[in-house]
Structure 1
Amino acid sequence: MAFIGELLRPISGRDLMLLRRFIFRVLACASASCAVQTLAQETANPWRLLAESDARAALELVERNHPGAEPSLNDTVFMTRLEDARANVESRLPKVDSYPAYNALMSGLAAEFRDRHIWSNSLVEYPHRAWAGIILSRRGGSWVVGAQERGTNDSALLGYRLTSCDGIEAESWAKQRIGSFKGNPEIEAQLAANAAWLLVRDGNPFLSRPESCVFQSIAGERVEARLEWRQITVPEIFPFIERAEGKRPAAGMGVKPFEGGYWIHLQTLESSAAEVVDEVERLQKELRAAPMVVLDLRGNGGGDSSHASAIAKLLVGEGAANGQAQPVATCRGAFWRVSKGNLMAVQDWRDRLKGGDPQSFAYVSALVEDMEAALAEERAFAPALPDCASQQTADTDSESEKLPDPAMAGQIVLVTDRACFSSCLLATDIFRRLGALHVGEATDVSTRYMEVREELLPSGIRTFSTLQKVAIGSGEYGPYEPAIVYSGDLAQTDELKKWVAELPTRFIHPQT
């Protein structure tokens, strides 16, 4: 019964849930010997049992609800990722003997899908970490020491570039670790977002602890550092991470004049973006006459892309905004994966819209009826998926609409940072196609799958998400590389504005 004593120590929410599970399983036994055997098995390695149960539930959630997991869509890339996820769970389960190992397995499972809309969040605080006094940051495509707490024998490495760890070249070493448990290693924005945790240990048994790393100064001095690992808590480490990453860029909200023309601050595309749209409408005449209009999306993680579309129409005119010069897929549309879980989510959405916008309520009500009919007919999608949707490459109309002349005199400049995700990517695509000069940092990437929902896993201490809808005729959005990378600190708005205002006219050209 030693494990019960262990449970009663630090994390009460987790403890109660695990004890409740164990008691229920013991009570379900028909004999005393069964109860003893069950308790012995569970107390021997409860975390493996927990991981097995939660991983199975997470995989079933994706298989039964995600459009990419439906064979009729013929998304071979997604199906391969699903099989890889299943295989990695099986190979990792034998090593799960603690909360950190369970946590790593579930995080790795979510990372397999290479889609930030699929995540696994822990509801339990586990503050313990180990570190070697070094926090890395991603700068200019390199791994740089952004913060350091020196031990007795540690060299001063602040500002040094990491070149290798345990004999493995830094880029390969870092991408393998991030790609296995954090995100897509081919997306610069996701590498930067996870850089700080590369030399922080969270008890993950599937990643070896580096013993020594080589660093190089700007002047070329090379230092081989033996890493001295010591304990730290997450609250203690956050100030070092903040120091390494610096202040994160934030555009704010509103429309303001600046030296080069007008600056539209659009940090979110959530409901508050409607107020910015209203400001753009009030200032439409001035904005169209300005030599430059900047759309600032720093810190924007998404929301509703219709706000960005509305701003585009107000700036360049509805004809120019609607006639974006892009091939139009002959096979296109939005299709919901039909399942009991997805239907319940859409029914809940409909119920929350009662008494609100009649048009939205009518749309969702019709969707509910279609999904109910599809479930009864054993259809996989609502509306029914056309045969052309399973093609690996989409056919496009032979002629694209030509872009009408925009109704504004000046140049649009688009500013993004690595936080740009989801609907922010749609906004980026809209303005790049309208000829905006893209500056700042590269964006993240989003797939053609959408409408995320999250479920509590059987353990009660973790959640997992899935997606419910696919946009046929649409590919991935992003990553978008800026035409001009900003080498300064994107968090310094005044300096950024000064830099944009001074952009040489030779840089002002339509985005290709």
Structure 2
Amino acid sequence: MKHLALCLALVAVAPAMAQPSPETPPAAPPDWSALAVADVEAVYAETRANHPGMHDPANPGFPALLERARAEALALARKATTAGGFDASLDRFTAVLNDGHAGAYATLPQELAPTIRWPGFVAAWRGDAMYVYKAAEGGPLAGSRIESCDGTPIADWVKTKVFGWRTGAEIAGAWWSMARIALVDDGNPFVRLPNSCRFVTYGKAEDRALSWSPVPDYYQEWRNGSINGDLLPIGLEERAPGIQWIALPDFQPDEAGNAAYQRLYADLAAKADAIRGARAVVLDLRYNQGGSSLWSLRVAESLWGNEAVEARADRRSAKTTVWWRPTAGNLEEVRGFARLMTEQGDAETAAWVAKLVTAFEAAAAKGETWYVEADEPAATGADTPDPAPLLTAPVYVIVPGQCASACLDAIDVFKLFPNTRLIGAPSSADSTYMEVRNPPLPSGMARAIIPMKMYVDRPRGNGEFYTPDIAMTDFDWSTQSFLKRIEADLGARF
């Protein structure tokens, strides 16, 4: 294949601050404003020096957008007096850039992080409306539609409370995965919380006052359930007669996840005949938020065959080129890719990255604006028929609303084959700025998000997302619910 998305840098968590000994007087509260101002200025400088958008001929407005992000974030940073204000200042910087592959995020230690509060229920966005997913005792009925809060339509609350501080207001999947935050108190002092909301249940409207309290222990489980359903471990399992289920929840795995992928690849090879003779194959992307596209590429090659995948991928991206920003900061990160691939036992990719490093170093030494990645020769000629795929059984790809970056790359490859159908939610989207690194910011409690390369003439453009062939608008996103829906589709189509 011509181009690989190697690795979306893992979100690094800052080490916890040292706890004072009994003899040590308590530390003074952090100067949140000073910390926020310094971090905003740092991420601005880091972005200006390294982001491909600063020199992108197709995006001449990026420098002005970056200036606006700095100005709006600094205006908030100067008023920050709490950890929530510090966090919100960086969020605004990211929201203005409106790209999940640019900006900054806080890594506040637990003892300083704001207390998250809820109104006694978890909301879920489906289609063009918000509903109660689950509620504590005495709360609104699950399934009730949330029409408005304090007299303002709920969609307007989402635009202000959520997408004033996060990216993706124009992306359907982002509403699916993040609209619920409109009814969560995350400590942002620059937004107000609603006092009451109107709930519509079986056509009857009722106004209810909201009471805010710290989230309970089960909140995270409910929140995850409202977006993704249950979490399956990386691996292959026959979950119904003739239905082979491949769970791919993580493309930035830790050591245990890496080992799980190695077992998965071995299982795919050992059970190749059973898989290719299956009634259906399910590729489950629930919980996936991107990472490295290498994991899904190898799964696709195991299913459809190396030659079939490579020929179609090369044809799809025949006009695509990759332009890297060969700056000192980006160069150091690229050097780490070869080490990472070696540690993960991928000698072939490590060798490819080593060649990239050499070319990158040469471009950086010359002070060049771009290193344009050289094309690899296509495996087949333009008029050569694509090799026949080894897998012709129906394939269902479960897509969650937060699916972006390498998760979208996976769908790009899976959808090269006509036997693939998408089931679930609309996906998220990304820009053509990719391959991020996360340098720490001066506070030690935040990191920047810096893309190092951009795709030119990528078939999937900026902000494009996938719409499911089978929309799962149910609140039940359990494995059993998906299995039932897939069985019904198989029965209707075959």
Match of 2:151 among 160, 164, 167: 167
The reply on whether 1:136 has 2:123 as its aligned counterpart is yes
Give the Cα–Cα distance (whole angstroms) in 2 for the partners of residues 15 and 185 of structure 1.
40
Partner residue in 2 for 1:57: 42
Structure 2 counterpart of 1:250: 231
3-state SS, counterpart of residue 445 of structure 1: coil
Conserved? CA contact 1:291–1:411, under 8 Å:
yes
> Judging changes above 3 Å, is the alpha-carbon distance between structure 1 residues 162 and 46 closer, same or farther for their aligned structure 2 residues?
same
SS at match of 1:181: coil
Q: Which residue identity lines up with residue 263 of structure 2 in the other structure?
A: E
Distance 2:465 2:421 in 1: 16
Match of 1:375 among 364, 376, 380: 364
- Once the two structures are TM-superposed, the CA of residue 404 in structure 1 deviates from its matched residue by 5.0
Superposed, which structure 2 residues align to 1:219-258 within 5 Å? 219-228=202-211, 230=212, 232-233=213-214, 236-243=215-222, 245-246=224-225, 248-257=229-238, 258=240
User: Deviation at 1:56?
Assistant: 0.5
Shift of 1:50: 1.9
Matches within 5 A, 1:27-38: none
Say whether the 8 Å CA contact 1:260–1:500 is kept in structure 2.
Answer: no
Give the counterpart of 1:266 among 234, 241, 248.
Answer: 248
2:31 paired residue among 46, 64, 67: 46
**Alignment partner, residue 286 of structure 2:** 298
From the two aligned structures, give the one with the greater helix fraction.
1
| 3-state DSSP of counterpart to 2:122 | strand
Q: Which amino acid aligns with 1:137?
A: A
In structure 1, the partner of 2:401 is 418
Letter in structure 2 aligned against 1:143 = M
Take 1:53 and 1:147, find their aligned partners in 2: how far apart are those partners?
Answer: 41
Structure 2 match to 1:26: none
**Residues 1:68 and 2:50 are matched in the alignment:** no
Confirm or deny: 8 A CA contact 1:212 1:225 kept in the other structure. yes
Alpha-carbon shift at residue 432 of structure 1 (Å): 1.9
Matched AA of 1:55? V
1:107 maps to 91
Change over 3 Å in CA distance of 1:12–1:250 after alignment to 2: closer
Counterpart Cα distance in 2 of 1:251 and 1:130:
28
Say whether the 8 Å CA contact 1:323–1:401 is kept in structure 2: no
Among candidates 360, 366, 370, match of residue 355 of structure 2: 366
Q: Please name the residue that 2:8 is paired with.
A: none
Partner of 1:13: 17
Deviates more, 1:357-366 or 1:200-209: 357-366
Q: 1:147 to 1:498 in 2, by over 3 A?
A: closer
Q: Which residue of 2 aligns with 1:502?
A: 488
Report the Cα offset of residue 105 of structure 1: 0.8
The answer as to whether partners of 2:121 and 2:139 remain within 8 angstroms in 1 is: no
1:255 to partner: Cα distance? 3.0
Instruction: Give yes or no for contact 1:456–1:462 (8 Å, CA) kept in 2.
Output: yes
Change (3 A) 1:362 1:280: closer
SS in 2 for 1:295: strand
Structure ranking higher on relative contact order (CA contacts 8 Å, 6+ apart): 2
Residues 339-385 of structure 1, C-alpha deviations (whole Å, 9 max, x = no match): 12112223344566679765444433433333333233221122489
Matches of 2:120 and 2:93 in 1, distance apart?
Answer: 29
CA distance in structure 2 between the aligned counterparts of 1:305 and 1:227, rounded to whole angstroms: 43
Correspondence for 2:70 = 86
Q: 1:57 offset after TM fit, Å?
A: 0.3
Native 8 Å contact 1:147 1:243 kept in 2: yes
Letter in 1 for 2:245: W
Distance 1:362 1:487, change over 3 A: closer
Whole-angstrom distance in 1 between the partners of 2:339 and 2:305? 36
C-alpha contact 1:135 1:147 (8 A) present in aligned 2: yes
Amino acid at match of 1:447: S
Residues 502 and 194 from structure 1, CA distance in 2 versus in 1: closer, same or farther, beyond 3 angstroms?
closer
2:16–2:109 CA contact under 8 A, matched in 1: no
1:294 is paired with a residue whose SS is strand
Calculate the aligned-residue CA RMSD, in Å: 3.6
Letter matched to residue 101 of structure 1: G
Per the alignment, residue 391 of structure 1 pairs with none
Rate the CA distance shift 1:211–1:336 in 2: closer, same or farther, 3 A.
same
1:249–1:113 CA distance, 2 compared to 1 (3 A): farther
Distance 2:136 2:193 in 1: 19
CA distance in structure 2 between the aligned counterparts of 1:307 and 1:60, rounded to whole angstroms: 33
- Show the 5 A alignment for 1:157-196: 157-196=141-180
How far did 1:58 drift?
A: 0.9
Task: Name the CA shift for 1:487/1:358 in 2 (closer, same or farther; >3 Å).
Answer: closer
What is the TM-score of this pair, normalised by structure 2? 0.79
Following superposition, the deviation at residue 496 of structure 1 comes to 2.7
Identity of aligned residues (%): 26
Q: How much does 1:411 deviate? A: 2.0
2:144 maps to amino acid:
Y
- 1:278 Cα deviation after fit: 2.4
Could you list the per-position Cα deviations for residues 114-165 of structure 1 after superposition, in whole angstroms to 9, with x for gaps in the alignment?
Answer: 3333441223332434554443222344212234457xxx874543211122
Is the 8 Å Cα contact of residues 291 and 409 (structure 1) preserved in structure 2?
no
Change (3 A) 1:428 1:384: closer
